[in-house]
Copies of this chain bind each other. A is one copy, B any other.
Amino acid sequence: MKKGMKNKNFSPETVCGSEDAAAIREMMTRIGDKWSIFLICSLSKTPNQRARFSELERTIPGISQRMLTTTLRHLERDGLVTREVFPEVPPRVEYELTDLGRSLLLPMQALVDWVGNHWSAVKKARSKVDDK
């Protein structure tokens, strides 16, 4: 990196305890909430990363209408998805991953993979602790 260039990355040294911590926290509470990650994953698997409301509702088991709306609004506010309303009857609304949202897929997949590879170890550790 060039000298004097403003570093837009957060170095590992400054993750905790800096003002950047607020950014980390805000994104973690966004993608760490109950449904966001499933919503993003679901969208990423549809053609054009695009799907309508009812489609998402079917794809994600257990999600309520309320939480689907709420979560989509949050993702839209953060620029991760777009919302397009088609003025028809009955109404149709389509959601699509933005480029910003797509850029999140790789780090998220890394996390998903970690769970795939290590979940059994976590479960084992839990049962060991819980037995006491």
A positions within 8 Å CB-CB of B: 8-10, 12-13, 15-17, 20-21, 23-25, 27-29, 31-34, 37-38, 41-42, 44-45, 59-61, 76-80, 100, 103-104, 106-122, 124-126, 128-130
Q: Which residues of B contact A27 (CB under 8 A)?
A: 111, 114-115, 119, 122
Give the distance in Å from the alpha carbon of A89 to the alpha carbon of B16 in the complex.
30
Neighbour of A28 across the interface among B37, B44, B125, CB < 8 A = B37
CB distance from A89 to the nearest CB of B (A): 26
Q: Which residues of B contact A121 (CB under 8 A)?
A: 79, 100
In the complex, the answer to whether B60 meets A38 with C-beta atoms within 8 Å is no
Q: Which residues of B contact A107 (CB under 8 A)?
A: 107, 110-111, 113-114
Give 6 closest A-B pairs by Cβ, nearest first: A32-B32, A79-B125, A9-B116, A10-B116, A107-B110, A23-B119
With A8-B117, A100-B125 already in contact, 5 other A-B pairs whose C-beta atoms are closer than 8 Å: A9-B116, A15-B41, A27-B122, A103-B118, A107-B114
Q: Which residues of B contact A34 (CB under 8 A)?
A: 25, 29
Give the distance in Å from the alpha carbon of A27 to the alpha carbon of B111 in the complex.
9
Neighbour of A114 across the interface among B44, B78, B104, B129, CB < 8 A = B104
